[in-house]
């Protein structure tokens, strides 16, 4: 969350886009510090904006399956965390209702994966998010689409 | 993999259904011992049959996300491992091409989740598998559907 | 809707399961008579129950695509109608939020397709339905899964 | 297929991008003239390129369901035809293996829907395509994703 400290220092009581940016950063930071799963898997936040989040994770030896490739579930988990951070960036408590993933290429121990989540659509309590997972060479590893459902309460 | 040792002791050169069962158990065992991800997440094999696998996992403190529920990615990962073991149970190297999941209910730290994978369809290099994840009270947590793609080589 | 007239004649003010059955039949009948698309494609209702509907359609010459097989969109449309009738059978106005389909085998001009929809899960305003499409030999043509969203109002 | 006649007049034995464009147009034209389903639903081809196709369809009175909105199956069918034309534009016989759709907004009798298909990925016999359906005001009606499977033979 590279620009967190700078931006939040400026964002005080101002309205408009900067405020939405600061709110997104604070909401995601708050979720992240309580998210033991994402932290335990070594995910780092690269960027946050309203409806948008980018995460990075290195494929560790304990993330590899019996075919010697990164377990597809952990590729999904990285994308799912980026999905969660992007759909909670508006500060409304939001959970995943459904998701689908297409696996395009394998990834291997030592690869650094980046998941970029963008908001495709939001209406009422529902939202759709697209997450692209790439490796350190920019090759696409997986495409993920998530459907979110807003529940009661706020993140902060 | 409850009946592994008994069955494999009997399975030598015999043909027919027992052979398919023994082959399934040996192929899944072989994958499981190399699958550091599934082992690291504490997954245990409950049952294996041709085209079928059942796994169990306890939701550990390090599997919980910022909403204090099991990270959806790890529910997916459990289902995905059951999917992998079921589609590789025919001893042909097989990987996930795509998967989708519907999250029906949250699960919590300490819950014991069971994923049961069944083969819906197989044709050419493609297959479809349905995985149901339940908790220790038999409540459905998630429904997962996976599309497999057979690649070259055998598991054993 | 084979048993509609018999059952509705009996169903008057009774409570319990028969009442849910009669309500399902009346709600689906009401939707069907206004559903010009399903009628125009020659779909016939075979069976209705609460959360359940079965439809039949013959693949006409004008339903075939450039590969000389039934257009996948029309296989989907048959399944989608069965989905709509099953999720509206509780008499609450309900629409499709999302759906996915796996095409297992082609169907051809003159084939008679049957779509059977069953309710997998319902909670709050959301529901999940599984629809299987088979041909006249009982061979599976497609598997369809739909996510429903209840809106305001009732069917009747 | 706006530039069909001009381009094909030029395309004779030339190599490179122009040839791929001409081949795409001829392959799609060949499929379209045999596709009684797409024609019967009034679909018109707006644009074709390698891996890309755009179609338009007016929602007729016989395309409306019991909720007085365009039947979701026919929105899917429009997207599915655009998918088919885009994935067959390389002149290899290709069919749909699976597809999913998210319905974002209803459409109504008289609306003109446009489906734009783009190729996301292609590898071996598999491909992924994204199709966006909009109405005459540019509002998004549905997002469709299709997985293609190349079979034997060529379109032309």
> Could D102 and A128 be called an inter-chain contact, meaning their C-beta atoms sit closer than 8 Å?
yes
Residue of D nearest to C65 (CA): D35
- Whether B53 has a pLDDT exceeding 80, the answer reads yes
Q: Specify the 3-state DSSP secondary structure of D146.
A: strand
Residue D117 predicted with pLDDT over 50: yes
Residue C41 predicted with pLDDT over 50: yes
Chain D residues within an 8 Å CB radius of B98: 98, 147
Mean pLDDT of B80-84: 98
Q: Nearest-CA residue of chain B relative to C141?
A: B121
| Residue C68 backbone class (left: φ over 0; alpha: ψ -120 to 50; beta: rest) | left
Contact (CB<8Å) B65/A102: no
Interchain CB distance below 8 Å, B147 and C121: no
Of the candidates A72, A6, C7, the residue with the CA atom closest to the CA atom of residue B144: A72
Q: Does residue B143 belong to the interface with chain C, where contact is any CB pair within 8 Å?
A: yes
Spatial CA neighbour of C150 closest among B142, B145, A124: A124
pLDDT score of B107: 98
Does C147 contact A100 at a Cβ distance shorter than 8 Å?
Answer: no
Which residue does chain D place closest to A144, by CA atoms? Answer: D145
Does B16 have pLDDT greater than 50?
A: yes
% of chain C residues with pLDDT over 70: 88
User: Tens digit of pLDDT for each residue in C55-91?
Assistant: 999 999 999 999 999 999 999 999 999 999 999 999 9
> Which residues in chain D are contacts of C88 at CB distance < 8 A?
66
**What local confidence, expressed as pLDDT, does residue D16 receive?**
58
pTM, rounded to two decimals: 0.91
How is residue A50 written in tokens?
């309203």
Write out pLDDT tens, residues D51-105: 999 999 999 999 999 999 999 999 999 999 999 999 999 999 999 999 999 999 9
Task: Inform me whether the pLDDT recorded for C138 exceeds 70.
Answer: yes
Q: Give pLDDT, residue C11.
A: 43
**Smallest CA–CA separation between D135 and chain C, in Å?**
18
pLDDT of residue D17: 56
Residue D128 is given by DSSP the state E
Those residues whose C-beta lies under 8 Å from the C-beta of residue C100, and which sit 6 or more positions away, are: A100, B100, B145, C144, C145, D98, D99, D100, D101
The whole-angstrom distance between residue B13's C-alpha and the CA centroid of its chain comes to 27
Q: How confident is the model at residue A12 (pLDDT cuts 50, 70, 90)?
A: very low
| C123 in contact with B, Cβ within 8 Å | yes
C105, C128, C140: residue with CB nearest B102: C128
Residue A3 pLDDT greater than 60, yes or no:
no
Mutate to test the interface with B, among C133, C145, C149 (most CBs of B within 10 A): C145
C104 reaches B (C-beta below 8 A): yes
Task: Using CA atoms of B10, B14, B19, B22 in order, give the dihedral in degrees to the nearest 10.
Answer: 30
Q: Which fold has domain B4-154?
A: Thiol Ester Dehydrase; Chain A (3.10.129)
**Interface pTM, i.e. ipTM:** 0.90
pLDDT at C14 over 70: no
Contacts of residue C89, Cβ cutoff 8 Å, sequence gap at least 6: C23, C24, C27, C28, C48, C49, C50, C51, C52, C53
Q: Scanning every residue of chain C, which has its alpha carbon at the shortest distance from the alpha carbon of B128?
A: C102
Residues of C in contact with B128 (CB under 8 A): 102, 104, 143
Q: What is the mean pLDDT of residues C42-55?
A: 98
Write the pLDDT tens digit of every residue in A37-48: 999 999 999 999
pLDDT, mean of residues D40-44: 98
Nearest-Cα distance to chain B for C86, in Å, is 19
Measured between CB atoms, does C38 come within 8 Å of chain D?
yes
Nearest-by-CA chain D residue for B147: D98
Give the other-Cβ count within 10 Å of D26's Cβ: 20
Does residue C4 or residue C147 have the better pLDDT? C147
Q: Is the pLDDT of residue D14 over 90?
A: no
> Is the minimum CB–CB distance between A15 and chain C shorter than 8 Å?
no
CB atoms under 10 Å from CB of B122, counted, come to 16
């Amino acid at each position: 969350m590279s620009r967190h400290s700078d931006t939040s220092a400026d964002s005080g009581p101002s309205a408009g886009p900067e405020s939405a940016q600061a709110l997104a950063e604070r909401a995601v930071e708050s979720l992240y510090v309580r998210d033991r799963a994402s932290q335990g898997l070594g995910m780092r936040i690269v960027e946050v904006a309203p409806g948008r989040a980018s995460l990075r994770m290195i494929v560790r030896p304990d993330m590899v399956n019996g075919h010697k490739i990164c377990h597809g579930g952990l590729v999904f988990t990285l994308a799912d965390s980026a999905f969660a951070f992007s759909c909670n960036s508006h500060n409304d408590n939001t959970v995943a209702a459904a998701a689908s993933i297409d696996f395009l290429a394998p990834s291997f121990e030592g690869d650094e994966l980046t998941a970029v989540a963008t908001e495709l659509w939001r209406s009422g309590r529902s939202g759709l998010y697209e997450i692209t997972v790439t490796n350190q060479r920019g090759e696409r590893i997986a495409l993920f689409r998530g459907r979110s459902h807003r529940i009661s309460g706020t993140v902060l």
